[in-house]
Structure 1
Amino acid sequence: MRKTMKKLLTFGLIISMIGALTACGGSKSGKDEAEVVPETTAEETAVEGTTTDGNLNVHIDVEVASMDPQIATDGTSFEVIAAITDGLYALDADGNPVEAMVDTVEKSEDGLNYTFTLKDAKWSNGTPVTANDFVFAWRRAVDPAVASEYAFIIGIAGIKNADAIAAGEKPLEELGVTAVDEKTLKVELDTPVPFFESLMAFPTFYPVNEEFYKTAGDQYATTPETLLSNGAFVITSYEPATTTITLAKNETYWDAANVKLSGIKYQVIKDSQQAMLAYQNGDLDLVTLSGEQVEQFQADPEFKNIMAGYLWYVSPNQKIAGLENANLRKALALAFDKEAVTANILKDGSIPAYFAVPALLAIGPDGKEYREAAGSNYFTADKAKALEYWETAKAELGVDKLTYTMIVEDTESAINVAQFLQAEIQTTLPGITINIEQMPKKNRVERMQEGDFELGLTRWGPDYADPMTYLDMWTTDSPNNYGFWSNKDYDAIIESCKKGDLALDVEKRWQALIDAEKIVMDDAVILPVYQKGNAIMQRTSVQGVEFHSVAINRYFKNATKN
């Protein structure tokens, strides 16, 4: 039932989608033309000192927020955690689950029991990786005292009693995971989950050595000395919010013979022009482009365009006066031109988002990709209709003017998009003022989690290949329901799709998920903006980097650099 991006759409179809979008009109970004990199190829400007030492130099545009697999919530952190840690499974080049720590697996016919035998593998301090490392980690994830934002995903995996434990209704010891012996892990599910093995590649399910964790205490995962690796690389330099993170090959890794890189150096560069200059100077091997850079370098042989699964949207906090009004939210959702965002600001292969569940995610029981099956487009820009909704909202709220602040992370692309939305909304809806507050991504996420915001430009990447990875977010008690929307009928549909009658009927479940998305969109719970595409430069000397639209965005274990 599950298929990956490569199996969902051909490359030609993706390119045709991108090509169609680049013809769309709209406002230009406010980029200073003086900052634009001269129009030339990367090869013409790369210096002779380009590194060829077997270390891969990678650009990231936000800091790593956490290296704790049960605490991390963002894609950048997940990527680095996955580079130093193996879970039960990893994803292959096509996005399919393959054994990592698993040596053999036995599955019951009813899909409710898995028995894993682990490989003989060691942590970087020489201690063996054991079944208890998984038991300890998974219990941490659902422990109310830990308050992991990803506790919900243990329940999504169907692990017995996960939700009840996370809610404080049952003790940790009743979680459906048992260390039968040092190398045997037994997992019990409440209900069969067809994508269970794929979920096991997600960082929240990664193991943690209990003794080491307790020795590190509150400092766990904050420095190289308080981190252990059982993966392809070990971390050698890291501090929270640092701008450089270095990894070295893990010589004691169980599959070290197949790891060709000497190490990885991540560099946080938020300004895309500075990042491209670093690439041209030979300081980076992989860099993400934005805006005008895409046009400048798209003919370069090192240019690549990759569709990602991230959905960017504005979340209105419905606890803020006015934003509880559905007509106001609809006015905001229709007030801006998404095609102008993707074609004139981002220019990186991103596509307009007329949905809450992105394209390229999953195939249904009918063999159709989810977006093809769902069909409908929601909130195509209609400024006249937006104004009608605004007039209705003003009458209902008894106001003529409203002012809101939109919080946004301090990356170049996010700021440019926010400024465009600000201008479009203020022009389309006279009387509405949008202020913008910039901050590091970690701060923006914390503010939204705490409800300390009015509007937030945010994003969500799929953790697994099923629409539930998005739709579960808007249930009443979800920690990712930043807007505090609540709908009992919606909650009931999602619960039944996870563990009720609908979970046992794949066709009815699929249609119910389509219906649930319609509820979210009809009530303007979120204001979708775009689905992310990535325009990158990758040196021809670098091969084997694996890109995924689900879970871990980039894998470097099989990469080489000549």
Structure 2
Amino acid sequence: MKKKYAWLLALSLVLSMFLAACSGGNKEKTDDSKEPADKPEVEQVLNFINGDTIPSMDPSTATDEYGFQFLGATMEGLYRLDEKGLTAEGIAKEHKVSDDGKTWTFTLREDAKWSNGDPVTANDFVYAWQRAVDPATGSEYGPYMMGGVIKNATAVNKGEVPVDQLGVKADGDFTLVVELENATPYFESLTTFGTFLPLNKKFVEEKGDTFATSADTLLSNGPYKFATWTSTANEWDIVKNETYWDAKTVKLEKMHYVVVKDPQTAVDLYEKGTVDRAGLSSDLVDQYSTHDDYTVEPDTSVFYMKLNQTKNPALKNVNVRKAISRAFDKQALVDEILNNGSIVANGLVPKDFVSTPDGKDFREVSGDLVKFDKEEAKKLWEKALAELGTDTVAIEVLGGDSEVSKMMNQYLANQLSTNLPGLKVTLKEVPFEQRLELDTAMDYDIQIAGWGPDFLDPYTFLNLWLTDGGNNMMGFSNAEYDKLINETGTTLAQDQDKRYENFLKAEKVLFEEAAIAPIYQRASALLVSPKVQGVFTNAFGATYEYKWASVGAEE
């Protein structure tokens, strides 16, 4: 994820919740000898803002935060994340792993059903996983998430072996046997991710090209299901899925979503009393930081500039890339432009995400690999211009079109053009879905992008930049980097000490080559009503977990 995770900045700063009006208060006593009447039940309805439309609800083709968020709410894989962000029972009740770590046998529950009443079986996982790597599907995440993990996934995707040779088999209706290419320490957490969700083959094939384009062409097996939605909708509803095996745990009856990109609009609605949670842009933080409902949510998503080496010849020069990565004041950006608790990123793997085998935070051990240094940036820039034989370079920066995104885009463009004399920067600001398309086509010079982790391991960040990787999309290639990262999933797969040594070395190579220019690690400044309960923020995968969400009673 996250994916093409290239995330839209609007998600972190605009994503907001609305709360429907709730009734409350005790009924008046009519007889002193009687117990007080119970309070009326609170209406279990929440109203949310989404930062944009949902590009895809097909688990095989989804690549973005919005798609994976709603897949996580409406579907369930072998496991899901619980209230503490740990893997918990989903369709699988338990699993066993062979001594060599390569064969995983999952025992599935027999009471799981699709929203049309069909049972969820091992064959639904076999079909979905085969479909995700089948070259005819055209999935980006199938080969990315399964390649090098599920046996034969890469060979299937390249058309070298038939799809039925993928290492996943059904042993009866409720036993799933998965063969891996190598021992994969993070595989259990990987099964919570959207690409590994099951699909009802009969339903998918019956719907054909219309599958996953509207509420009527979707099936759910998770806590919620779509009541209304189309792929171009600016409003939609998801409601409690009564056929979900654990429906008794789900308290919310409905969540209504509206697409809103402007933080001021969200705050205005909050002030009117109809908005229960509103994301704050930097100019609003100063106004609301003393508000009783103000809070900051840390995040493990990291934002950076992707420096595409295939389109603009200047970016093939390593000193151009090094100069750009050091030429903007990140501290000023997080303090003044974002002003929401985000912190400076001087590496890729985020702070407070994973620990090394000796218990130290990975970011602390790896250290600051590329910092703002205006003088060093100028020296590198002068060297680069001499190597290119020119005194001017023109570069286009691709970014989002939300108000906060535009502020950050303009700030970065100004910093680069001011601190690197002779650099001419133009901005191209587009909606989220269009930016994903331009990324896939590698049709950009520099892109302001980001990534949120898909599973709990440094590999979820560091595998992005493997040569020809499904999320590389910027022409970076380094043989030493490839070797270090590939070894963590092959020869070193069961040696955590050596795996982390490779991860630390690889991250240094990434910035010695100035493949990307890190900007910040995200946090969100929010106004949150205490009436929203049981909504959890995940460290990886879908941003929010709503299975245990509820609307609390008014005081």
Q: Common fold, TM-score beyond 0.5?
A: yes
Q: What code does the residue aligned with 2:186 have?
A: F
Match of 1:515 in 2: 505
Q: CA deviation at 1:151?
A: 2.2
Preserved CA contact (<8 Å) 1:59 1:286: no
Q: What secondary structure sits across from 1:80 in the alignment?
A: helix
Match of 2:466 in 1: 475
Q: Does 1:275 align with 2:266?
A: yes
Match of 1:13 in 2: none
Match of 1:305 in 2: 296
Match of 1:193 in 2: 184
Q: CA deviation at 1:317?
A: 1.1
Match of 1:553 in 2: 543
Alpha-carbon displacement from aligned partner over 1:351-407 (angstroms, at most 9, x marks no partner): 1110022112212211112112212x1221111111111111111001111111111
- Out of 40, 46, 61, the position equivalent to 2:51 is 61
Q: Does 1:292 align with 2:321?
A: no
- Out of 195, 202, 216, the position equivalent to 1:225 is 216
- Out of 135, 143, 147, the position equivalent to 1:144 is 135
Q: What secondary structure sits across from 1:503 in the alignment?
A: coil
Q: Aligned runs of 1:309-320 on 2, under 5 Å?
A: 309-319=300-310, 320=312
Q: CA deviation at 1:538?
A: 2.0
- Out of 350, 357, 371, the position equivalent to 2:363 is 371
How far apart, in 2, do the equivalents of 1:334 and 1:516 lie?
20
Q: Does 1:117 align with 2:113?
A: no
Alpha-carbon displacement from aligned partner over 1:406-441 (angstroms, at most 9, x marks no partner): 111112222111110011111111211111111111
Q: What secondary structure sits across from 2:375 in the alignment?
A: helix
How far apart, in 2, do the equivalents of 1:189 and 1:531 lie?
33
Q: What secondary structure sits across from 2:314 in the alignment?
A: coil
How far apart, in 1, do the equivalents of 2:53 and 2:281 lie?
18
Q: Does 1:441 align with 2:432?
A: yes
Alpha-carbon displacement from aligned partner over 1:163-206 (angstroms, at most 9, x marks no partner): 22223222211111111111221111122112111111111000
How far apart, in 1, do the equivalents of 2:22 and 2:274 lie?
7
Q: Aligned runs of 1:153-172 on 2, under 5 Å?
A: 153-155=144-146, 158-172=149-163
RMSD across aligned positions (CA): 1.8
Q: What code does the residue aligned with 2:357 have?
A: P
Preserved CA contact (<8 Å) 2:262 2:403: yes
Match of 1:526 in 2: 516
Q: What code does the residue aligned with 2:543 have?
A: N
Q: Does 1:104 align with 2:94?
A: yes
What's the TM-score, normalizing by structure 1?
0.89
How far apart, in 2, do the equivalents of 1:48 and 1:325 lie?
55
Preserved CA contact (<8 Å) 1:154 1:162: no
Preserved CA contact (<8 Å) 1:89 1:102: yes
Match of 1:28 in 2: none
Preserved CA contact (<8 Å) 1:305 1:349: yes
Preserved CA contact (<8 Å) 2:19 2:47: no
Q: Structure 2 unaligned runs (5+)?
A: 1-15, 24-41
Q: Structure 1 unaligned runs (5+)?
A: 1-41
Q: Aligned runs of 1:229-244 on 2, under 5 Å?
A: 229-244=220-235
For these two proteins, the number of residue pairs brought into alignment is: 516
Q: What code does the residue aligned with 2:298 have?
A: M
How far apart, in 2, do the equivalents of 1:410 and 1:237 lie?
27
Q: What code does the residue aligned with 1:71 have?
A: T
Seq. identity, %: 39
Q: CA deviation at 1:157?
A: 7.4
Preserved CA contact (<8 Å) 1:269 1:275: yes
Preserved CA contact (<8 Å) 2:298 2:341: yes
| Farther-moved stretch of structure 1 (172-181 vs 146-155) | 146-155
Q: CA deviation at 1:225?
A: 0.5
Moved >4 Å (runs of 4+): 46-52
Preserved CA contact (<8 Å) 1:352 1:531: yes
- Out of 374, 388, 395, the position equivalent to 1:397 is 388
- Rate the CA distance shift 1:478–1:523 in 2: closer, same or farther, 3 A: same
Match of 1:457 in 2: 448
Match of 2:175 in 1: 184
